[in-house]
Amino acid sequence: MLEHDALPERRYPAHQAWRRVHNRSVIVFVTVCTRKRQPLLTTEAVHQALLDAWAEADSWMVGRYVVMPDHVHLFASPCDPESPDLRRWIQFWKGGVTKRGPLETGKSLWQRDVWDRQLRTGDSYTAKWEYVRSNPVRHGLVRNPEDWPYQGELNEWIWHD
């Protein structure tokens, strides 16, 4: 048996509190999935509802993002050291998208939990973004990342190591 085979399988992601170290940037890579991975997100109405909800939930800023049929990848950064907990912020904007009602699911639109990870270096930000922007290509939705209509950059960040 390999050592990693002995590790328990996670049912839910572990969430670390984000932390600011000196003057370094705080950027958190977030993945939010739909309930039961329903492919509901890739419409203009949902895309606009996400943009509106992120603008309203202004205690964190969204940088680059890609909306896939059943999940959203985004990079977020707190507006100031007193910004609320990341999960509370996500819960707020998920509720905003649901209330705007572009979808009639009859049940909750979102999975209960999210995946998040604070990035540590500028290289990891660049590498993660390249992975995220290529997601529609890997899933066979477009041939070139720039052809995917459900992506963008709301706030441009300069990484400070």
Q: What's the per-residue H, E or C state across 1-48?
A: CCHHHHCCCCCCCCCCCCCCCCCCCCCEEEEEEEHHHCCCCCCHHHHH
Q: According to CATH, what is the number of the domain 23-153?
A: 3.30.70.1290
Would you state the pLDDT for residue 137?
Answer: 98
CA 39/CA 106 separation, integer angstroms: 15
Q: Mean pLDDT of all residues in the chain?
A: 83
The ranges assigned to domains in the chain are 23-153
Q: What integer is the mean pLDDT of 122-150?
A: 93
| Residue matched to tokens 């509720």 | 95
Query: Is 93 within 8 Å of 63 (Cβ atoms)?
Result: no
- Is the whole model's pTM more than 0.85, yes or no? no
